[in-house]
Amino acid sequence: MSRQPGSQSIGPEYNSAMPNHSVDVLVTGAAGKTGQAALRALAHRGLAARALVRRAEQADAVRAAGAEQVTAGDLLDPGALYAAMQGAGAVYLICPNMHPQETEMGQAAILAAQAAGVGHFVYHSVLLPAEPAMPHHWQKHLVEQALAACGLSYTILQPASYMQNVLPYWPAIKNGVYRVPYSIQAAFTPVDLDDVAEAAAIVLADPAAHAGRTLQLCGPEALTSAQMAAEMAAHLGRPVRAEVQALADWEAAARQNGLESYALDALQKMFTYYDRHGFGGHSADLQAVLTRTPGTFGQFLSRLGV
Ligand SMILES: NC(=O)c1ccc[n+]([C@@H]2O[C@H](COP(=O)([O-])OP(=O)(O)OC[C@H]3O[C@@H](n4cnc5c(N)ncnc54)[C@H](OP(=O)(O)O)[C@@H]3O)[C@@H](O)[C@H]2O)c1
């Protein structure tokens, strides 16, 4: 397969000033929050990483996070995927959040990995993917199924919702309100994204030890939004109350902010699921991979320093 016009290698293929090891793990979605956390964790463990980003202007950010080589291209472009994977020992497929074609992206990445002879494929899925009530979860379920059937060596990571998801709401939280469009009594097992990234790096450092495994990546506590608000209040030293935002109000605001129709629909279905069932799993897998207790919400808040 030849490189297609959509793929663009940015800067030197290999920077000889970097540590003396071959560029080995390809991280996709690398400029996003998960991708950058993964690059930092890989660099921390001394693993060489290359990045696939969508836009060339994202190269500086992923280099700063630890990528030694950067390619720009679309996850739906087979040529870009193949070019980015050539010579890589492993791929860490992180797809964009709430993308209407994640299944196609996963299938294209699997085909590219097979064509490029990648040794191990790690897929960043989600906790409870086989849930038809949440369409973006179901798409990840289909990718998981394709991966399990494709013959590649693989590991599937199923993270719970990140603790970092509260950060976009931080200004309102500091003003005393943590507003969510579902029951404030619904329970979650939020996980620290840095723990997720560390687990991914541990898996990628020793793929044989984790081949064929599906790992739930959940934090160690079951917490409701009301309990998270109480913890944030204690951290900030001022009152914070959890409050339900009517789903219709959330939708109106999201439409006004220009959220695309797939994400608008998928998020509303996800919030409805959260409202009825919460969203939780068990932290045993993450604890076993990290060989320590995963971080608590309180520890995450302490690290914020605000
Ligand atoms: N947030 C959570 O709690 C959570 C929990 C479990 C699993 N996850 C999963 O984690 C994954 C990553 O989430 P995230 O929040 O880190 O994502 P993110 O910050 O939105 O980053 C996604 C990245 O993918 C890029 N991208 C978008 N469309 C692309 C395309 N067609 N081709 C190539 N790159 C493209 C984006 O580039 P642009 O900047 O150009 O858009 C962005 O850099 C998602 O699959 C999500 O479902 C999230």
> What is the residue extent of each domain of the chain?
8-162+192-220+280-295
Q: What band does 2 get if pLDDT is binned at 50, 70 and 90?
A: very low
Locate the ligand 1 atom nearest the alpha carbon of residue 125 and give its number: 7
Using CA atoms, how far apart are residues 167 and 163, in angstroms rounded to an integer?
8
185 lines ligand 1 (CB under 6 A): no
Nearest CA to ligand 1 atom 21: 32
Provide the pLDDT confidence category of residue 20 given band limits of 50, 70 and 90: very low
Q: What is the pLDDT of residue 12?
A: 41
Upper half-sphere CA count for residue 287 (Cβ side, 13 Å): 9
CB of 216 shorter than 6 A to ligand 1: no
Once rounded to an integer, what is the mean pLDDT over residues 121-145? 98
Query: What span, in angstroms and rounded, lies between the C-alpha atoms of 165 and 225?
Result: 12
- CB 223, CB 192: distance < 8 Å: no
The total of other beta-carbon atoms located within 10 Å of residue 70's CB is: 24
For range 91-110, the mean pLDDT: 98
Does 95 contact ligand 1 (Cβ within 6 A)? yes
What is the position in ligand 1's atom list of the atom closest to the CA of 191?
3
CA 122 – CA 107 distance, rounded (Å): 13
Residues 134-156: tens digit of each pLDDT: 999 999 999 999 999 999 999 99
Confidence tier at 226 by pLDDT (50, 70, 90): very high
For ligand 1, say whether the CB of 54 is within 6 Å of any of its atoms.
yes
Predicted local confidence at residue 16, as pLDDT: 29
Instruction: For residue 92, list its beta bridge partners.
Output: 27, 122
Residue 167 beta carbon below 6 angstroms from any ligand 1 atom: no
Mean pLDDT of the region 230-255: 97
The token pair that represents 137 in the structure block: 């979860």
CB-based contacts of 256-260 (< 8 A; 24+ apart in sequence): 260/100
Give per-residue pLDDT as tens, 189-201: 999 999 999 999 9
Q: Name, in order, each residue with C-beta under 8 angstroms of 218's C-beta and a sequence gap of 6 or more.
A: 127, 159, 160, 189, 191, 280, 281, 282, 283, 285, 286, 294
Give the whole-angstrom CA distance, residue 219 versus residue 131. 20
Mean pLDDT of the chain: 94
Beta bridge partners of 244: 180
3-state secondary structure 8-37: EEECCCCCCCCCCCCCCEEECCCCCHHHHH
What would the mean pLDDT of 153-170 be, rounded to a whole number?
Answer: 98
Residue 28 or 17, more confident: 28
pLDDT above 90 (res 17)? no
Report residue 14's pLDDT band, with 50, 70 and 90 as the boundaries.
very low
For 245-279, write each residue's pLDDT tens digit. Answer: 999 999 999 999 999 999 999 999 999 999 999 99
Between residues 10 and 94, which one has the greater pLDDT?
94
Grouping H, G, I as helix, E, B as strand and the rest as coil, residue 187 is: strand
| Cβ-contact 182, 249 below 8 angstroms | no
pLDDT score at 3: 41
Residue 41 has pLDDT above 90, yes or no: yes
189 touches 218 (CB < 8 A): yes
The phi, psi pair for 245, rounded to 5°, reads -95, 130
DSSP-assigned letters across all residues of 251-281: HHHHHHTT--HHHHHHHHHHHHHHHHH-B--
Largest CA distance in the chain: 59
Q: Is the CB of 153 under 6 A from ligand 1?
A: no
Distance in angstroms between the alpha carbons of the first and the last residue of the chain: 50
Structure tokens at 60: 């500086």
Cα of 47 vs centre of ligand 1, distance in Å, is: 22
- Beta-strand pair 241-244/187-188: unpaired
Residues in the chain: 306
Structure confidence by residue, pLDDT tens digits, 286-297: 999 999 999 999
Name the residue at shortest CA distance from atom 35 of ligand 1: 54
pLDDT confidence band for 82 (50 / 70 / 90): very high
Looking at domain 8-162+192-220+280-295, its CATH superfamily turns out to be: NAD(P)-binding Rossmann-like Domain (3.40.50.720)
Measured in Å, residue 280 CA sits from the centre of ligand 1 at: 21
Q: What is the pTM of this model?
A: 0.94
Express as a percent the part of the chain with pLDDT over 70: 92
Q: What local confidence, expressed as pLDDT, does residue 305 receive? A: 79
